[in-house]
Amino acid sequence: MRIDRTHRAWATATIIALVFASIVYIAYAVRSPGGPRGGTALGLTFGIAGYALMLYAGLLGARKKVPVWRIGRAQTWMRGHLWLGLLSFPLILFHGGFAFRGPLTAVLMILFFIVIVSGVAGAAFQHYLPRIMLSEVPMETIYEEIPHVREQLRDEADELVMAGVEAEYDDKVMLREMYQEKIRPFLETPDKPGAEPPAEIFDSLRVVIPAAFHPVLDDLENICEEERQLNRQIRLYRWLHAWLLIHVPSSIALLVLGGVHAVMALRY
């Protein structure tokens, strides 16, 4: 989501909480005889608070599964996810006293690090990419439907070329041949690198093909442009969503293993 002025309250609250937690931690770390550890009362408090925040952040995914439930606006959850999720990281660092020596805790910390880094990266993507999409892909459609839309674009182009234009037979044949040769392959496999016909092709075709076909050429050019934009959309969309492939699995693993850690740590 776009990080704008509306986040000020959340950011301030997070920073205040962080400062407060840091003060508590420093005082505790200095004075506790055994050093800052997860097992002491305060360490445990940090751990529980951190895990609770993580759990809350993780619940965003679950909350999205029940969009109709009136349990707070999704954007409130999202803001919480962003800021409290971020806050959980220092809390967990405080919990462990910045040291994670056990195998499980080390794995957890690596996962957590991945989650936070991918999350921050994702937030950055979500901040910048929609605007790029807005300006660069005016003809965007629904990503999932792109193959379907492409079929329709292809059919539209086929129809355009086959449609009756009052013209000499030879010219019709020429247009169709040009289409089959230069344009159709691109429409067939638009995402294949190099399939894209150069922009000048239409200019050169306009010289060769009589004026009666120029509207058809204009439309074909427009269709190619749309295909081009869809290619761009696919790339941008992947950036916009692929980070979740890292973020979500690692956070789920983090939550599960974190739970195991909590149980086992309370046991020992």
Partner 1 sequence: MSDQIQLTIDAIPVTVPAGTTVFDAARMNGIAIPTLCHQQNETPVGVCRVCVVEAGGRVLTASCVRPAENGMKVSTNSEKVRGARRTLLELLMADHPSPCARQRQSNDCELEHLATLEGVTAPRYPRRLSPRGQDDSSLVIAVDHEACILCDRCIRGCDEIRHNDVLGRRGKGFNAGIAFDLNNPMGNSDCVSCGECMVSCPTGALTNKSVVRTVLPGEPVEAEELKQLHYFEKVSGTFLELNKNAVVRRHFRKGEVVCREGEYGSTAFYILEGTAHVFLSAPMAHVQTGGGATGLFSKLTSRLAGRQQDRREGENERRKIPIDASVDLPYDNPVAELGPGDLFGEMTCMSLYPRSATVQAATDCVMFEMLRNVLDIMQRNKTLKAQLDANYRKRALDDHLRSVPIFSSLTEEFIDSLRDRVELVRYNKGDMICHQGDIADAFYLIRIGFVKVSEVYPDDDLVLAYLGRGGYFGEIGLLGEGRRTATCTALDHVEVVRIHGEDFHRMMEEFPDVRQSLELVAQAHLEQNQQRMAVTSNVPLNQFLTQGLMEAQSLLILDLEKCTRCDNCVRACADAHDGVTRLIREGLRFDKYLVATSCRQCRDPLCMVGCPVGSIRRRNSLEVIIEDWCIGCGLCARNCPYGNINMHPFTVMVDSPESPGRRMAAIKQKATSCDLCTEHAEPSCVYACPHDAAHRVDPTKFFSAVLQQTVTGT
Partner 2 sequence: MPGRSRTTKKLAQRIDLNYFKRLYAIPSWRRRLSFGLVLVGLLWLGWEALSGKQRPYNAGPVSHAHALLTRNCTACHVAQAVFGRKVTDQACLTCHDAPAHQTAQTFTPVCMDCHVEHQGSPRLASTRDASCTQCHRDLKTDGKPAGYVTAIASFDGQHPEFAPLRPGHTDPGTVRLNHQVHLKKDLRGPNGTLVQVKCADCHPREQADIVPVNFEKHCLSCHPLQFDKRFVESVPHKKPDVEREFMTAKFTEYIGAHPEEVRTADPGDPRTMRPPLPPARNAAEWIARRIDDSERLLWRKTCKECHTLNFGPGSSLPEIPKAAIPAVWMPHAEFGHRAHQMVNCAECHAGATKSQETSDILLPGIQTCRTCHRSGADFADARCSECHLYHDWSKEKKIEGKFTLLGF
Among partner 1, partner 2, none, partner that 78 touches (CB below 5 to 8 angstroms by kind): partner 1
Residues 177-216, interacting with partner 1 (CB under 8 A): none
Residues 264 and 39: beta-carbon distance below 8 Å: no
Residues 202 and 172: beta-carbon distance below 8 Å: no
R_g over Cα of the chain: 28
Choose, by CB under 8 A, the member of 30, 41, 62, 66 that binds partner 1.
66
9 near partner 1, rule: CB under 8 A: no
199 near partner 2, rule: CB under 8 A: no
Nearer to partner 2, 152 or 189 (CB): 152
* Upper half-sphere CA count for residue 243 (Cβ side, 13 Å): 18
Give the integer Cα–Cα distance in Å for 79 and 147. 33
Among partner 1, partner 2, none, partner that 44 touches (CB below 5 to 8 angstroms by kind): none
Nearer to partner 2, 9 or 27 (CB): 27
For 143-168, b/e burial (b = at least 16 CB within 10 A) is eeebeebbeebbebbeebbeeeeebe
Residue span 113-142 as binding mask against partner 1, x where in contact by CB under 8 A, dash where not: -------------x--xxx-xx---x--xx
Best CA proximity match to 247, nearest among 82, 133, 87? 82
Best CA proximity match to 86, nearest among 18, 2, 4? 18
Choose, by CB under 8 A, the member of 44, 59, 60, 117 that binds partner 1.
60
Query: Judging by beta carbons within 10 Å of its beta carbon (0-12, 13-18, 19+), is residue 3 exposed, middle or buried?
Result: middle
Choose, by CB under 8 A, the member of 182, 184, 222, 262 that binds partner 2.
222
Question: Which residue reads 């990503």 in tokens?
Answer: 143
Choose, by CB under 8 A, the member of 3, 10, 18, 37 that binds partner 2.
37
Residues 241-260, interacting with partner 1 (CB under 8 A): 241
Residue span 69-108 as binding mask against partner 2, x where in contact by CB under 8 A, dash where not: ------------------------------xxxxxxx-x-
**Residues in touch with partner 1 (CB under 8 A):** 1-2, 6, 60, 64, 66-71, 73-75, 77-78, 126, 129-131, 133-134, 138, 141-145, 237, 240-241
